[in-house]
Chain A
Amino acid sequence: MSPARILIRLKILVLCCWVPVVRAATLSFDEALAQITLRESLLLGVLMTLAGVTALLFRISNQVNAGGDDKPMKPIRNLPLLVGAHMCGSWLAGICAFFMASHFDMPGLMIGFFVPMVSFGGAKSLELMYNKFVADKLSSAAAAGGPAT
């Protein structure tokens, strides 16, 4: 099967899933919002952000340490895009994790550790996608002498 046909089927699948997903998200969202106060939601936001920042620092530090004594460090390209990818992944995964935690009635400290762990995983997942679809193409363009946009 050609990639174009796979893409069309995936789009149809996403369209079919859209309605039940939105319905389920609304139910979970209402259920979760009924249990959470403004203070808690603020702290959850901080937890998700910290998890995203952790993933981002991990990525930058790995890039810095990848350069040895004889090999210069590769500069970070498109930092706003990199930060955005990590934060979006972290927040999306964190919100999903909070819905799950609310659904299963997890205790407070468990939520406090479960949500950032899932957020970290979400940020790393989007980072992998960023590396695959953005960073690799930028490196190829730079190696070919083309504009690194």
Chain B
Amino acid sequence: MKTHFSWLTRFYVSGSVLVTACIAMLDPWSQHRGIMDQDGYGGAVAIGLLAFTALAGLFDVLINDWLPPRYSLRCTHRHRHLVFMAMAIGQVALAFVEARSDDIRPVMARYLLDACVASLVACLGVYSHYWRTRREDAAAFVAGAADALRRAMECGGYYPPILYAAGQLMHAQSQTVRFEGRIYAPIGATLPFTTSGQFESMKFRELTGCAESCDGTNEEVTK
């Protein structure tokens, strides 16, 4: 599901965080390892969690961007921002440990940069997803209205008839109802009104020549 944000950026951030975690776990002389060792067992758990979130980010890229669309997973797309925000928080936590020491080493810049990009990926992803969904909803609404208008125009200005029932709001002369096989339109002077259980012939006039060409339903008209 290639829905938002560049896979390359997500791949880079996830890969970078995974490399950081791997260096901390595998290289006993690295600066990352020094930070991890400050908290003993807790540090190892924290680095393990960071590696896990990075793997989740890489898994998301693999499933949703590299493999064909039939392998796409909706849940990974839905919770993508959580993975990247977790990465950002983990990186800032490492920078926080570094800030507690007396001398700051350059490795802190890398943590903050990765955190910045990861949080940016999450925020922009949700932002673009939100606005794209709103655009799609608006487009669907416009398409539905255009379709209703087209069908009304095809019927000589009348909307397709709906089956007469109680509680239908009549507010335009272009609305039509079907009652006992005949098509009726409301009389303008009686508008607006709500239909009752019994057909009120005083409020409707019969249309002829529209029954066959305008068959269908358009319930939106009466809402």
Contact = CB atoms under 8 A, between A and B. Distances in A.
Interface of A: 37, 39-40, 43-44, 46-47, 50-51, 53-54, 57-58, 60-61, 64-65, 67, 72-73, 75-76, 107-113, 116
Interface stretch (B78-86, B163-171, B182-190, B200-208): B78-86
Contact of A50 (B38, B43, B89, B133): B89
A109 B93 contact: yes
A69 B99 CA distance: 48
Interface in B120-144: 122-123, 126, 129-130, 133-134, 137, 140-141
Secondary structure of the A contact surface, majority rule: helix
A41 to B, nearest CB: 10
Secondary structure of the B contact surface, majority rule: helix
Contact of A53 (B36, B42, B104, B119): B119
Given A64-B129, A73-B134, A107-B38, A47 B85 contact: no
B131 to A, nearest CB: 10
Given A50-B119, A51-B89, A57-B122, A64 B130 contact: yes
Given A47-B93, A60-B130, A72-B141, A40 B100 contact: yes
A61 B96 contact: no
Interface residues of B, number: 39
B42 A109 contact: yes
19 contacts: A43-B96, A44-B96, A46-B115, A47-B89, A47-B96, A50-B89, A50-B119, A51-B89, A54-B89, A57-B81, A57-B126, A60-B126, A64-B126, A73-B133, A107-B38, A107-B42, A108-B100, A109-B39, A109-B42
Nearest to A69: B140
